[in-house]
């Protein structure tokens, strides 16, 4: 009897221990279940909410551009901002009548003022594989010389807020003036005129210079002196006008 009573006591103690014992695996399962349900209703634990607001990124971008990059009297205004799936923010802004695309890194610290579609550029480069680079960093095409009233057309595309355009425009203007009525000059500053020519010969950047559709260059010649740039422009335009006027193109003829 004592042995039976002793067994009964042990059984009662075991029941009490089991009653107060909690299975850790059960706890883990319950917690995981709660977290999963919570993530569904809170958009992934709020991870997406850790991203900066596109509006705040846009505001910061415009403040930086206006304070550090634009000439006095010009102001950038927001057109559109959004978060891209590749981890970048796109901020479109406008200066005067011209719109620009810019991109900001996910942490809001790096600004990229011009996006380049590498596939499009690669395709363009393949199409232009037969083109060669000549004096002044210009590219020579095999296109026919574009004219107006029988005279070669010189195109200049620029922006009044672009410092490189401000360097190049007076140099080109002075050279063009030497040729008088031998050529036609189309100066497009903050303008959408001659858009077809711009789209064909420019990657989207300014300044872009197109000389008679035979030579073109995106960018200024300020890596050289103004004298060197002036001579390069003169030589190329003389080629378009068949060395006319002779007094302007005489230096080129003597060099040859």
Task: Delimit the domains of the chain by residue range.
Answer: 50-112, 130-255
Using alpha carbons, select from 117, 142, 138, 137 the residue that is nearest to residue 127. Answer: 142
Fold observed for domain 50-112:
Nuclear Transport Factor 2; Chain: A, (3.10.450)
Helices (H) and strands (E) in the chain, counts: 8, 11
Considering the chain, what is the average pLDDT of its residues? 81
Position of tokens 């922006």?
159
Q: What is the pLDDT of residue 113?
A: 76
The residues near 179 (Cβ < 8 Å, ≥ 6 apart) are: 237, 241, 245, 248
Position of tokens 């680079």?
133
Q: What is the pLDDT of residue 38?
A: 46
Q: Which residue has the higher pLDDT, 9 or 108?
A: 108
Longest dimension (CA), the chain: 136
Residue-wise pLDDT tens digits, 237-253: 999 999 999 999 986 54
Q: How many CB atoms lie within 10 A of CB 10?
A: 9
Q: What is the pLDDT of residue 167?
A: 96
Q: Which residue has the higher pLDDT, 66 or 121?
A: 66
pLDDT beyond 70 at 33: no
Q: Which residue has the higher pLDDT, 155 or 116?
A: 155
Residue-wise pLDDT tens digits, 156-198: 999 999 999 999 999 999 999 999 999 999 999 999 999 999 9
Residue-wise pLDDT tens digits, 59-118: 998 999 888 888 778 899 999 999 988 889 999 998 887 888 889 888 888 888 766 667
Distance from C-alpha of 186 to C-alpha of 153, rounded to nearest angstrom: 7
- CA atoms within 13 Å, Cβ hemisphere of 187: 14
- The arrangement of secondary structure in 130-255, i.e. its CATH architecture, is 3-Layer(aba) Sandwich (3.40)
Instruction: State which H helix or E strand residue 138 sits in.
Output: none
């Amino acid at each position: 009897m004592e042995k039976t009573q002793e067994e009964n006591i042990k059984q009662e103690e075991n029941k009490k221990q089991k009653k107060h014992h909690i299975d850790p695996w059960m706890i883990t399962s319950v917690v995981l279940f709660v977290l999963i349900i919570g993530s569904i209703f809170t958009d992934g634990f709020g991870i997406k909410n850790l991203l900066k607001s596109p509006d705040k990124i846009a505001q910061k971008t415009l403040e930086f551009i206006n304070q550090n990059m634009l000439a006095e009297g010009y102001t950038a205004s927001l057109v559109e901002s959004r978060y891209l799936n590749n981890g970048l923010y796109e901020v479109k802004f406008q200066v005067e009548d011209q719109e620009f695309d810019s991109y900001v890194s996910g942490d809001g610290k790096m600004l990229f003022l011009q996006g380049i579609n590498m596939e499009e550029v690669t395709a363009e480069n393949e199409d232009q594989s037969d083109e060669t680079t000549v004096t002044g960093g210009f590219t020579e095409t095999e296109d026919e010389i574009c004219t107006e009233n029988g005279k070669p057309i010189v195109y200049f595309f620029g922006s009044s807020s672009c410092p490189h355009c401000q360097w190049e425009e007076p140099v080109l203007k002075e050279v063009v003036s030497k040729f008088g009525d031998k050529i036609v000059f189309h100066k497009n500053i903050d303008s959408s005129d001659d858009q077809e020519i711009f789209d064909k010969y420019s990657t989207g950047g300014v300044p872009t210079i197109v000389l008679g559709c035979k030579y073109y260059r995106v960018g200024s010649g300020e890596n050289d002196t103004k004298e060197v740039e002036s001579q390069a422009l003169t030589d190329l335009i003389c080629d378009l006008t068949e060395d006319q006027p002779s007094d302007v193109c005489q230096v080129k003829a003597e060099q040859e």
